[in-house]
C-alpha cells in the first residue's frame, strides 16, 4: 500500500512539474525590463552601452571594447596580467538608462533596482556598490538643468524627483498618476515631462511648479522632441501631437496606424516618424496640423526605434531584426546593385531591434584616432544598431550604403 | 498560432476593463467567470465520462483479470464494454485537452494585459483587436495598494494572503470534487484513490507556489477560477460538502447496479473490505505486501512460458 501511494505521489509530482513547465513555457517571457540604452562618450565618440547588469564602452572604429588606460595612457591589467577593458558590472543591478557625467571623472547611473550609483569613469569602478537609495525604478535617462545644479530623476512608477546635485537632497517632486517611461527634456529652464498617465506636463525646472498640462488621451512612452518652439509627442493612442510653447494643441494630430513608441525626427521642416505597425511617415507640420508627404509600410514586424534621417535617406530598424533604407524625398526603398540586379537596401541583424540607433560621424573622429588607417572607405560614417540579443549587442553599418563593418557580442 | 486564442482574450479583458470602470481586478474576475461558464459543457462531459468510467471499473477489472494473457481479446472486450455503456474511453481526456489551451491562453492574456515594463508592454502591441482600446493602455495595475504585476513577495505584506487564499480554494475544490474512492478489491490498494488523495495535497501546494512566484493578478485569477469551479460543482450536485467534516460519501453506489452476473464476486469483495474497521485496515496491506512478492516471483516464469508458447 505504501509503495503504491508513494508511486501515486511520484506520478502526481511529475504531473505537477509538467504543469509548471507548461505554464511557464507557454508564456512568452523576456529577461529584464527594457532594452539597451546607447550613448556616445568623449571626443572619440565611444559607444557606451547600458544593458542589464553591465555598462561597456565600445570603440566605434574597431567594434571592440575600449581598453582601460591609466593617466599616462598605459593599458591597465588585472590580477592575472590580462589587459582590462572599460566595463562596469554590478551583480544584482539593472541598467536601462545612460549615466550622466557630473564632472570629468564621475558619472551617476540609475540602477533599476532603486539605487543611484556613482561610477568613476577613469577606473571603470562603482564607488559604492550599494549606492544611494532612490524612491522608485528608473528606465529613462537622468538629466540635469542647464547649469548642472539640479538632477532630475524620472521614476517609471510615478514621480519626477529633483535633487540638489551636490548634496543629493530632494528639492521637489512632481507626481504623475502612472510614471515616466519617456526621456524628459529641458528647454530654457522648462521641463517637458510626458507620462504613461496620458499627460504631458510643463514644469518650471527650478521650482517644479506646473506651467500647464495636457491630456493626450494615450500613454506616452517615447521622448517628446522640441523644435522651433513646438513640442512633438507620439502616443500609444496612435497619434502625434503638435503643441505650442503655451500648452495649446496646434491643429489636428497626425493619425498613425499603430502605437507610436519612437521619438519623431524633425529635419529641414519635415517630421519623420515610425509606428509599431511598421509604417514610416514623412509629414510637414503647419499651423493647421500636419500635411502627410508620404507614408510607406516598411515592415510587418513593427518599428520601435526612432528613425535616423540623413541628407538623403530615412533609415529604420524593425522588431524583426532588419534595417531598411528609404529615400527621404519619396519614401521609396533605396536600390543598390545586388547579386540579381538592383534590389532594395536592406540588412539583417538577426535579432529584435528596440534601442534607438546611433550615427557616428567618423571623418572628424579619424583625425584624432590613433587607429586611423587613412583609407577613405574606412572613414565612412557609421550606423550603429543594437539588438536585444547579448550575442549581437551591436552591429555597425556604413551609413549611406549599409556595408557591414563589425559586430560586437558579449 | 496560440495568439489566435490569446489576442481575443486580451481584447475581451480590455473591453471589460473599460466597461467596468477601469477596474482590472473586476475585469479579470468577470473574464474568468465567463470562460469557466463557456467551458462548463466540456467540464460536465468530462465529469459524466469520469463517473461512467468509475462505474464500470469493477467489470473492467474482471475483464482485465480474465484476459490478462490475451491482449487482443482484452482490447475487444473492453471496447465492447465501453460500447455497451455508451462510453467514449477518451471522453474524460478530450474535454481536458480542449480546456487546457483555453486556460493557458487566459493565463497568458492576463500576464500580457498587465504589462508593467517596456518589454512587457511592447509585447502587448498589436494584440488589441478592437479599435479604440489603445487609450486604455497600460491597464491600471494597482489594486488595494498592491501592484498586480508583481509577486506577493514584492508587494505589501498583506499580499501574502493571496497565495493562502489560492491554496485554500484549490484545496476546497479538490476536496469537494474528488471522486468517491472505489472499493478496495482483493486487498489491493486503489491507485486512483491514492492519486486523488495526493492531488488534494499537492495541487494546493503547487498553486500556492505559483501564486507566490507569479504576479498578484494571476492569484486573483486562480482564486476566482477555484470559486467558480466550486460553485459549478455545487450546482451540479457533485460537491461533497460532507468531506469537509470528515464524512466520506458512499462508495460508488452505482457499481452493484451496473455490474451484474459475474460482478457479484466483485461486489462481495468490496463489501468484505468495507466491513473491515478502519483501525485494522493497515493489516491487509501488510498481508498484501507479504503475499504479493512470492506470487509475482512465481507468476513471471509462467507468463514467460505462456508467451513463448503462443509465439510458437
Q: Is residue A28 less than 8 Å (CB to CB) from chain B?
A: yes
Q: Is residue B292 less than 8 Å (CB to CB) from chain A?
A: no
| Residues of chain B positioned with their CB less than 8 A from the CB of A259 | 125, 134, 137
Long-range contact set of residues A256-259: C-beta below 8 Å, sequence gap at least 24: A256/A281, A258/A302, A258/B125, A258/B126, A259/A221, A259/A235, A259/B125, A259/B134, A259/B137
Q: What is the mean pLDDT of residues B226-244?
A: 81
Q: Is residue B202 less than 8 Å (CB to CB) from chain A?
A: yes
Q: Work out the number of other CB atoms within 10 angstroms of the CB of residue B20.
A: 14
Chains A, B: CB contacts under 8 A, how many?
102
- On the question of pLDDT at B82 being above 80, the answer is yes
Query: Could you tell me which chain A residue has the CA closest to the CA of B199?
Result: A12
Question: Is the CB of A221 less than 8 angstroms away from the CB of B118?
Answer: yes
- Give which of B122, B217, B285 to mutate to test A binding, by max A Cβ within 10 Å: B122
**Contacts with B230 (C-beta within 8 Å, 6 or more apart), sequence order:** B169, B172, B173, B176, B177, B239
Q: Is residue A9 less than 8 Å (CB to CB) from chain B?
A: yes
Round to whole Å and give the CA distance between A74 and A70: 5
Q: Which of B120, B125, B134 sits opposite A302 (nearest CB)?
A: B125
Task: Find the Cα–Cα–Cα–Cα dihedral B77, B82, B84, B85, rounded to 10°.
Answer: 150
Question: Is the CB of B126 less than 8 angstroms away from the CB of A277?
Answer: yes
- Give which of A2, A3, A4, A219 to mutate to test B binding, by max B Cβ within 10 Å: A4
Q: Which of B283, B132, B157 is nearest to A236 (CA)?
A: B132
Q: For residue B91, what are the CA distances in angstroms to A138, B94, B233, B234, B253?
A: 53, 6, 18, 22, 22
State residue A379's pLDDT score.
Answer: 77
Contact B42, B99 (CB under 8 A): yes
Give the gap in angstroms from C-alpha B305 to the nearest C-alpha of chain A.
28
**Contacts with B111 (C-beta within 8 Å, 6 or more apart), sequence order:** A27, B120, B214, B215, B217, B218
Contact B142, A205 (CB under 8 A): no
Q: Which of B107, B138, B197 sits opposite A27 (nearest CB)?
A: B107
Predicted complex ipTM = 0.91
Q: Between B129 and B57, whose confidence is greater?
A: B129
Question: Is the CB of B189 less than 8 angstroms away from the CB of A258?
Answer: no
The β-bridge partners of B271 are none
Average the pLDDT over each of A92-96, A337-341, B23-27, B301-305 and give the range with the smallest value.
B301-305
Q: Which of A1, A96, A236 sits opposite B137 (nearest CB)?
A: A236
Contact B273, B185 (CB under 8 A): yes
Query: Could you tell me which chain B residue has the CA closest to the CA of A29?
Result: B120
Give the gap in angstroms from C-alpha B194 to the nearest C-alpha of chain A.
6
Question: Is the CB of B203 less than 8 angstroms away from the CB of A28?
Answer: no
Q: Please tell me whether the overall predicted TM-score, pTM, comes out greater than 0.90 for this model.
A: no
Contact A130, A90 (CB under 8 A): no
Most confident by average pLDDT, A23-32, A337-346, B47-56:
A337-346
State residue A32's pLDDT score.
Answer: 86
Q: Write the DSSP symbol of residue B153.
A: G
Phi-psi region of A74 (alpha: psi -120 to 50; beta: other; left: phi over 0): beta
Q: Between B97 and B112, whose confidence is greater?
A: B112
Q: Which of A298, A326, A306, A293 is nearest to A402 (CA)?
A: A326
- On the question of pLDDT at A258 being above 50, the answer is yes
Core vs surface per residue A53-86: b (16+ CB within 10 A) or e? bbbbbbbbbebebbebeeeeeeebeeeeeeeebb
| Residues of chain A positioned with their CB less than 8 A from the CB of B126 | 258, 276-277, 302
Round to whole Å and give the CA distance between A127 and A179: 29
Q: What is the mean pLDDT of residues A242-251?
A: 97
Confidence label for B92 from pLDDT (cuts 50, 70 and 90): low
Task: Give the DSSP H or E segment for A325.
Answer: strand A322-327
| Residues of chain B positioned with their CB less than 8 A from the CB of A37 | none
Confidence label for B17 from pLDDT (cuts 50, 70 and 90): very high
State residue B60's pLDDT score.
Answer: 83
Q: Is residue B117 less than 8 Å (CB to CB) from chain A?
A: yes
Question: Is the CB of B195 less than 8 angstroms away from the CB of A219?
Answer: no
Q: What is the mean pLDDT of residues B267-278?
A: 39
- Give which of B125, B188, B211, B217 to mutate to test A binding, by max A Cβ within 10 Å: B125
Q: Between A327 and B154, whose confidence is greater?
A: A327
Contact A387, A321 (CB under 8 A): yes
Q: For residue B20, what are the CA distances in angstroms to A197, A304, B23, B31, B124?
A: 19, 31, 6, 11, 21
Q: Is residue B126 less than 8 Å (CB to CB) from chain A?
A: yes
Task: Give the DSSP H or E segment for A5.
Answer: helix A2-25
Residue A341 backbone dihedrals phi, psi, to 5 degrees: 90, -155
Core vs surface per residue A236-253: b (16+ CB within 10 A) or e? bbbbbbbbeeeeeebeeb
Chain A residues 97-136 with CB within 8 Å of chain B: none
| Residues of chain B positioned with their CB less than 8 A from the CB of A12 | 195, 198-199, 202
Q: Which of A218, A230, A213 is nearest to A181 (CA)?
A: A218
Contact A220, A234 (CB under 8 A): yes
β strands within A150-288, DSSP E: 150-154, 159-164, 170-175, 185-187, 190-194, 199-204, 210-215, 225-227, 230-235, 239-244, 254-255, 265-267, 270-274, 279-286
Task: Give the DSSP H or E segment for B295.
Answer: helix B282-311
Round to whole Å and give the CA distance between A11 and B201: 13
- On the question of pLDDT at A254 being above 70, the answer is yes
Q: Is residue B125 less than 8 Å (CB to CB) from chain A?
A: yes
Task: Give the DSSP per-residue string, A357-370.
Answer: PEEE-HHHHHHH-T
State residue B70's pLDDT score.
Answer: 85
Task: Give the DSSP H or E segment for A38.
Answer: strand A37-41
Q: For residue A101, what are the CA distances in angstroms to A55, A193, B137, B223?
A: 14, 21, 34, 49
Q: Is residue B107 less than 8 Å (CB to CB) from chain A?
A: yes
Amino acid at each position: 500500500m505504501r509503495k503504491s501511494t508513494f508511486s501515486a505521489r511520484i506520478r502526481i509530482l511529475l504531473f505537477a512539474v509538467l504543469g509548471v513547465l507548461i505554464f511557464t513555457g507557454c508564456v512568452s517571457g523576456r529577461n529584464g525590463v527594457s532594452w539597451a540604452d546607447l550613448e556616445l562618450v568623449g571626443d572619440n565618440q565611444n559607444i557606451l552601452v547600458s544593458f542589464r547588469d553591465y555598462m561597456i564602452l565600445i570603440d566605434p572604429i574597431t567594434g571592440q571594447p575600449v581598453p582601460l588606460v591609466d593617466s599616462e595612457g598605459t593599458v591597465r591589467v588585472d590580477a592575472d596580467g590580462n589587459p582590462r577593458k572599460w566595463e562596469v558590472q554590478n551583480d544584482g543591478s539593472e541598467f536601462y538608462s545612460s549615466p550622466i557625467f557630473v564632472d570629468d571623472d564621475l558619472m551617476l547611473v540609475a540602477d533599476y533596482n532603486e539605487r543611484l550609483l556613482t561610477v568613476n569613469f577613469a577606473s571603470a569602478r562603482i564607488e559604492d556598490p550599494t549606492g544611494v537609495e532612490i524612491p522608485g525604478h528608473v528606465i529613462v535617462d537622468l538629466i540635469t538643468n542647464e547649469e548642472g545644479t539640479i538632477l532630475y530623476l524620472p521614476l517609471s512608477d510615478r514621480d519626477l524627483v529633483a535633487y540638489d546635485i551636490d548634496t543629493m537632497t530632494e528639492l521637489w517632486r512632481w507626481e504623475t498618476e502612472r510614471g515616466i517611461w519617456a526621456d524628459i527634456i529641458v528647454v530654457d529652464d522648462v521641463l517637458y515631462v510626458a507620462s504613461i498617465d496620458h499627460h504631458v506636463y510643463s514644469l518650471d525646472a527650478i521650482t517644479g511648479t506646473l506651467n500647464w498640462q495636457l491630456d493626450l488621451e494615450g500613454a506616452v512612452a517615447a521622448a517628446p522632441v522640441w523644435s522651433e518652439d513646438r513640442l512633438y509627442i507620439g502616443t500609444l493612442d496612435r497619434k502625434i501631437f503638435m503643441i505650442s510653447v503655451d500648452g495649446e494643441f496646434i491643429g489636428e494630430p497626425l493619425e498613425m496606424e499603430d502605437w507610436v513608441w519612437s521619438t519623431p525626427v524633425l529635419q529641414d521642416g519635415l517630421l519623420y516618424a515610425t509606428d509599431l505597425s511598421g509604417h514610416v511617415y514623412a509629414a510637414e507640420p503647419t499651423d493647421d496640423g500636419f500635411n502627410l508627404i508620404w507614408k510607406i509600410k516598411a515592415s510587418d514586424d513593427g518599428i520601435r526605434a526612432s528613425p535616423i534621417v540623413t541628407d538623403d535617406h530615412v533609415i529604420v530598424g524593425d522588431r524583426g531584426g532588419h534595417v531598411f533604407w528609404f529615400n527621404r524625398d519619396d519614401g521609396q526603398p533605396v536600390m543598390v546593385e545586388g547579386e540579381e540586379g538592383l534590389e532594395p537596401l536592406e540588412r539583417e541583424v538577426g535579432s529584435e531591434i528596440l534601442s534607438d540607433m546611433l550615427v557616428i560621424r567618423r571623418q572628424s573622429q579619424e583625425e584624432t584616432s590613433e587607429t586611423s588607417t587613412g583609407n577613405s572607405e574606412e572613414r565612412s560614417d557609421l550606423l550603429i544598431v543594437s539588438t536585444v540579443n547579448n550575442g549581437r549587442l551591436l552591429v555597425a553599418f556604413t551609413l549611406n550604403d549599409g556595408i557591414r563593418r563589425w559586430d560586437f557580442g558579449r | 498560432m496560440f495568439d489566435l486564442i490569446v489576442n481575443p482574450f486580451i481584447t475581451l479583458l480590455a473591453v471589460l476593463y473599460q466597461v467596468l470602470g477601469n477596474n482590472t481586478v473586476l475585469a479579470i474576475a468577470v473574464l474568468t467567470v465567463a470562460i469557466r461558464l463557456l467551458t462548463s459543457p466540456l467540464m460536465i462531459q468530462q465529469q459524466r465520462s469520469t463517473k461512467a468510467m468509475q462505474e464500470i471499473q469493477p467489470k473492467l477489472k474482471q475483464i482485465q483479470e480474465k484476459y490478462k494473457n490475451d491482449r487482443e481479446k482484452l482490447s475487444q472486450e473492453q471496447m465492447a464494454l465501453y460500447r455497451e455503456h455508451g462510453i467514449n474511453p477518451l471522453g474524460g481526456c478530450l474535454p481536458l485537452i480542449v480546456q487546457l489551451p483555453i486556460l493557458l491562453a487566459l493565463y497568458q492574456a492576463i500576464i500580457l494585459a498587465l504589462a508593467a515594463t517596456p518589454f512587457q508592454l511592447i509585447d502587448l502591441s498589436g494584440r488589441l483587436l478592437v479599435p479604440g482600446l489603445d487609450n486604455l493602455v497600460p491597464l491600471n495595475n494597482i489594486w488595494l495598494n498592491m501592484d498586480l504585476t508583481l509577486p506577493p513577495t514584492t508587494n505589501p505584506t498583506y499580499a501574502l494572503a493571496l497565495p493562502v487564499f489560492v491554496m485554500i480554494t484549490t484545496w476546497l475544490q479538490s476536496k469537494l470534487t474528488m471522486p468517491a474512492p472505489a472499493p478496495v478489491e482483493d486487498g489491493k490498494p486503489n491507485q486512483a484513490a491514492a492519486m486523488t488523495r495526493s492531488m488534494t495535497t499537492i495541487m494546493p501546494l503547487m498553486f500556492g507556489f505559483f501564486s507566490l512566484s507569479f504576479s498578484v493578478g494571476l492569484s486573483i485569477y486562480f482564486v476566482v477560477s477555484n470559486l467558480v469551479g466550486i460553485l459549478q460543482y455545487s450546482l451540479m450536485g457533485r460537491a461533497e460538502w460532507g468531506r469537509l467534516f470528515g464524512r466520506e460519501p458512499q462508495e460508488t453506489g452505482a457499481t452493484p447496479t451496473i455490474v451484474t452476473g459475474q460482478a457479484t464476486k466483485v461486489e462481495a469483495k468490496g463489501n468484505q473490505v468495507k466491513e473491515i474497521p478502519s483501525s485494522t485496515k493497515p493489516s491487509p496491506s501488510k498481508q498484501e505486501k507479504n503475499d504479493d512478492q512470492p506470487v509475482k516471483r512465481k507468476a513471471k516464469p509462467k507468463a514467460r512460458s505462456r508467451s513463448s508458447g503462443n509465439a510458437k
